[in-house]
Copies of this chain bind each other. A is one copy, B any other.
Amino acid sequence: MRDYYSITELTREFGISTRTLRFYEDEGLINPVRRGRTRLYRPSDRHLVRQILRGRRLGFSVAEIREIIEVYKAPPGEVGQLKLMLSKIAEKQQDLRQKRRDLEDTLEELARAEESCVERLAELGVTT
């Protein structure tokens, strides 16, 4: 496990630009350490980037991703805070379950479209 990654290493690994990484930092999603002015990304930062990109692919806004990331952190000490966090987690879970339903529905429709294409090809005497 590497100690640190440079910004360009991460841009290459994840296929994003330095601007994007700095943007996420400005937005408070990641906090790489600095040697002088240059950013050094720890494994934990790298993992965060991975999570951010996952959220992005799922269509979450940066604000929503921030909320999700916050619940990954160590749980707070106070009961009220803990309960609040639990309700936030439940909210995100519901959101994701809705997305999962949307996803399965869309996959089904695509399968139907695929099948009718294959059938049509068969009618034309083409073997898939």
Contacts and interface: CB of A to CB of B under 8 A. Distances in A.
B82 A117 contact: yes
Interface residues on A, range: 35 or more
A58 B102 contact: yes
Interface in A85-108: 85-86, 89-90, 92-93, 96, 98-100, 102-103, 105-107
A113 B60 contact: no
User: Taking the full assembly, how many copies of this chain does it contain?
Assistant: 2
A120 B59 contact: no
Interface of A: 51, 54-60, 68, 71-72, 74-75, 77, 79, 82-83, 85-86, 89-90, 92-93, 96, 98-100, 102-103, 105-107, 109-110, 113-114, 116-118, 120-121, 124, 126, 128
